[in-house]
Amino acid sequence: MVEKWAFIINPIAGNGYAEKHVNDVKNNIKKYKIDAEIVLTKYEKHATELSGDFVNSGFSHIVAVGGDGTINEVAQSIIGHNDVTFGAVSAGTGNDFIQILGFSEHFKEIDWNIFFKRNTIKMDVGQCNDHFFLNGMGLGFDAQVAAQNYDENGSKKGGKDKYLYHILKTLLLYREKPMQMKIDDDFEEIVCFMNTIAIGRRFAGEYFLTPKAIANDGMLDVCAIKNLRLLSRLKLFLKASKGTHVLENTVNYFQTKKLEFKFDKKVAYHLDGELFFANNLDVKILPKEINIIYNPDGRHFFNI
């Protein structure tokens, strides 16, 4: 296949930070003599449409430039196409996904140099119902935090400071919901403060909710936190930035290939920070389902 690259840039990611990367992308395409097209997204889910068009047109490399949501949208059309290589250039607010790949949160010259060396690895993908996730998904507390970052029209609001405010507010006000969870053969009635199901380790910019996760081990890492009183919530919140919350007896940390959830009514859940609603959730791992550019010399989260 002839190498042909596409860069899909979300200009509003990172409160407009990603738009500043347009010239940076152009300059590096020229510097590294890449045959590439650059397109900017114009509306929600546009990145998925553009990515699908590039896949159908035979592009060999498709790169998302933006935050975790943009990266997720672009990947939706690439997953399952083994002849396409995916790339991610982080330019959002939290930039959690890029941690998996070993690149800097905001690309520097050294990152571009490593990026265009085209070192690739096959990475696991998570699936929940009809959508995929690359870093992780959440139910309960963190889904409610994600919901706070959307306005009444369903549009995502940016800003890391606002995100921290929503975390603190939700810590105080969130009320756990009963659910049924199936890990092996039987459903179990539980009430959880939070369920994080992940391929990556970091969420919300600085919280290592699944600190043992490896992105190509064919397993989902699950951090299920029991019903908590306010002081216990605050205690875990402080420990989560170092990943030491998993040592608490209120935390059930385990690995699985699939699990299911059932609720009496539709509840919020997020996939890589993007908000969805459903009664029933069917979650599973798709081992090594996407070919992705990474930094083999960085602090990545792969088994090599």
pLDDT tens per residue, range 177-202? 888 999 877 888 888 888 999 999 99
- At 205, is the pLDDT very low, low, confident or very high (cuts 50, 70, 90)? confident
Domain coordinates in residue numbering, the chain:
5-118, 131-287
pLDDT tens figures, 79-106: 999 999 999 999 888 799 999 999 999 8
- Span 208-229, average pLDDT: 94
297 phi and psi angles, rounded to 5 deg? -100, -5
CA dist list (Å): 247 to 93, 184, 224, 256: 29, 24, 12, 19
Q: How far apart are CA 137 and CA 97, in angstroms?
A: 12
- Span 51-66, average pLDDT: 97
- Amino acid letter, 192: C
Per CATH, the number for 5-118 is 3.40.50.10330
Do 5-118 and 131-287 share a fold? no
Residue 148 in tokens:
């706070």
Average model confidence (pLDDT) across the chain? 90
pTM of the model: 0.91
In the CATH hierarchy, which fold is given to the domain comprising 131-287?
A: Tumour Suppressor Smad4 (2.60.200)
